[in-house]
Amino acid sequence: MEPLVSLCMMVKNEALCLEKCLESIIPIADEIIIVDTGSTDGTQDIISRYTDKVYTWDWNNDFAAARNYVASLATGKYVCRWDADWVLRQGDMEKIMQAKNTGFKNAEEVHFNWINEFNDNTRDPISMVTHMFLYKRELFEWYCAVPAHDMARPLDTNLTVNQLILSDIWVYHEKDPQVKQFRYDQTHQLIADNLQKMPANHPDRMTNLQFYLSSCLFREEFAEALKTIEEMLLSISPKNDLFYWLLEQHITCLINLSELEQAYTIALGYYQKYHEYHTILALADIVLLLDSPSAKELYQEYLDYPFDSENLDINYERYRVHPVAMLGILNKDKDLLYKAVSMTRRPTTKSKLAKYLT
């Protein structure tokens, strides 16, 4: 009988966090397979305490190739792809085991919440996204459409993928801050170089632009982000969810470049043409900056807009907490302010709102 879960990892010089990482996740594993790509810091001494299925791989700058190799060594029905700086939240293993006892409901993919940024003291999430952590081994392969960003895709392009989303399970990205910054800078440059040589009609160009834009925004390089947004808007359909996010980021970049009047004109045009929660909130923010009393009406309109904000975990603070806080401040409504305080996951937001509650 084949094992249900193969824990598969690629490692290189991960001694700092590896033991904590493994201890958090090994109960799920029926087998543990680790591929080392050239560690020199004692990583192999640590992994030898957990498994004898340790292999080596000559690194060739291809994350997808390495991940396909480690998956090829697995025998389980499901591969649990895990990185050496990921740590499962304490207490969540019981929830995973409950799902495992159901055979993960035979889903092709199993998703948890990935906490990329969090408060070091409280461990409250700052940036959270639903992420695929387990998949049926024989149905998928890894590929790199964007440098340093390997992705899983079905071997059968006609496969209808059934996802089991377990959003109450959290995985923390525990990478050392200096290492993390180095990787961010390295990846940013790799994507920039890739875009320079990539033809405008390349099928992966839009995906590369999206990752590059996110990196520019994170680095607060707003002029470069603005150029990227303008290119993307030329070839993306309003039916695509990414389109509305781009409209909002367009306005955000102009605000950060102190082009307030231009930002207002564009925001109003988007609001009138594409009346959707992104455009309502973007217009409300620019109107507030221009000190217009109509900001109150727009924040209220946003809160009354019929959409499911419960699933907006990537931008939880912006789309759920921010409009409640702004309307509470503008209306001097302590009930709304207390609501925003109770909702936020950021201690800094709580302290900022506290002054309005005294």
Three-state SS annotation for 279-324: HHHHHHHHHHHCCCCHHHHHHHHHHHCCCCHHHCCCCHHHHHHHHH
Contact residues for 93 (Cβ-Cβ < 8 A; gap 6+): 24, 25, 27, 28
Mean pLDDT (whole number) for 275-287: 93
pLDDT interval class at 121 (50, 70, 90): confident
Q: What angle do CA 326, 226, 290 make, to 5 degrees?
A: 35
Convert 189-206 to b/e letters by CB count within 10 Å (16 or more is b): ebbeebbeeeeeeeeebe
- Residue 25 vs residue 319, higher pLDDT: 25
**Residue 145 to residue 97: CA distance in whole angstroms:** 33
Task: Name residues whose C-beta falls within 8 Å of residue 343's C-beta, 6 or more positions apart in sequence.
Answer: 320, 321, 324
What is the reported pLDDT for 311?
A: 53
Mean pLDDT calculated for residue range 313-327:
85
In whole angstroms, give the CA distance from residue 274 to residue 280.
9
Q: Which residues of 280-315 are buried (b: 16+ CB within 10 A; e: fewer)?
A: bbbbbbbbbeeeeeebbebbbbbbeeeeeeeeebeb
On the CB side of 208, CA atoms within 13 Å amount to 23
CA 255/CA 266 separation, integer angstroms: 11
Question: pLDDT value at position 134?
Answer: 98
Tell me the pLDDT tens digit for each residue of 57-100.
998 878 899 999 999 999 999 999 999 999 999 999 999 999 99
CA–CA separation, 49 vs 42, rounded Å?
12
**What is the DSSP code (8-state) at residue 150?**
E
Q: What percent of the chain has pLDDT over 90?
A: 72
| Residue 260: its H or E element | helix 260-273
Mean per-residue pLDDT, 35-44: 92
Q: pLDDT at residue 332 above 80?
A: yes
pLDDT value, residue 19: 95
Report which of residues 239 and 201 the model is more confident about.
201
295 has a pLDDT exceeding 60: yes
Pairing of strands 54-56, 78-83: unpaired
Task: Place 49 in a pLDDT band, splitting at 50, 70 and 90.
Answer: very high
* Residue with the larger pLDDT of the pair 323 and 128: 323
The sign of the torsion formed by the CA atoms of 186, 188, 191, 193 equals negative
Cα separation, 246 vs 249, in Å, equals: 5
- How many H-runs (helices) and E-runs (strands) does the chain carry? 15, 10
Residue 11's pLDDT band, with cuts at 50, 70 and 90, is very high
Average pLDDT taken over every residue of the chain:
91
Separation between Cα atoms, residue 145 and residue 153, nearest integer Å: 11
Element (H, E) at 165: strand 163-173
Report whether 243 contacts 237 (CB < 8 A): yes
According to DSSP, residue 27 is labeled: G
Q: What is the pLDDT of residue 220?
A: 94
Give the pLDDT of residue 334: 94
List the single range of 233-237, 242-246, 315-319 with lowest mean pLDDT: 315-319
Cβ count within 10 A of residue 17 = 17
Question: How wide is the angle at C-alpha 83 spanned by C-alphas 219 and 66, nearest 5°?
Answer: 100
Q: Which residues face 69 on adjacent strands?
A: none
Identify the pLDDT of residue 307. Answer: 72
Q: What is d(CA 336, CA 338) in angstroms, rounded to the nearest whole number?
A: 5
The residue type found at 304 is D
Write down the pLDDT at residue 315: 75
Task: Retrieve residue 83's tokens.
Answer: 């990185």
Look at the pTM and tell me if it is higher than 0.95. Answer: no
- Domains of the chain from N-terminus onward: 5-175 (3.90.550.10), 179-354 (1.25.40.10)
Task: Give the number of residues written for the chain.
Answer: 358
Token match 């490692």: residue?
Answer: 11
pLDDT digits (tens, 9 = 90+) for 122-144: 888 777 788 999 999 999 999 98
**Residue from 27, 22, 30 nearest 94 by CA:** 27
